[in-house]
Amino acid sequence: MKPGGTYHPPALPHEERELFQAELDNVVPLTPHGRVIPNPVDLPPVPRSLFRDEREVIHESLHDPIRWDMDAETGEEASYVRPGISRQTLRRLRQGNWVAQAELDLHGLTRVEAKRELADFLFECKRRGARCVRIIHGKGRGSINREPVLKLHVRHWLMLRDEVLAYVQARPADGGGGAMMVLLKSPNV
In a domain? residue 46? no
Residue 90 lies in a domain: yes
> Would you say 78 and 107 are in contact if contact means Cβ atoms under 8 Å apart?
no
> What does pTM read for this prediction?
0.60
Q: What is the pLDDT of residue 108?
A: 83
- Per-block average pLDDT, block size 10, for the chain (189 residues)? 62 84 84 79 80 72 52 59 90 90 91 91 92 89 68 90 92 88 85
User: How confident is the model at residue 68, as a pLDDT?
Assistant: 41
Q: What is the extent of the structural domain holding 115?
A: 77-184
Q: How far is CA 80 from CA 16, 49, 158, 167, in A?
A: 88, 37, 9, 5
CATH of the domain at 122: 3.30.1370.110
How many distinct structural domains can be found in the chain? 1
Q: What is the pLDDT of residue 147?
A: 66
* Residue-level pLDDT at 122: 94
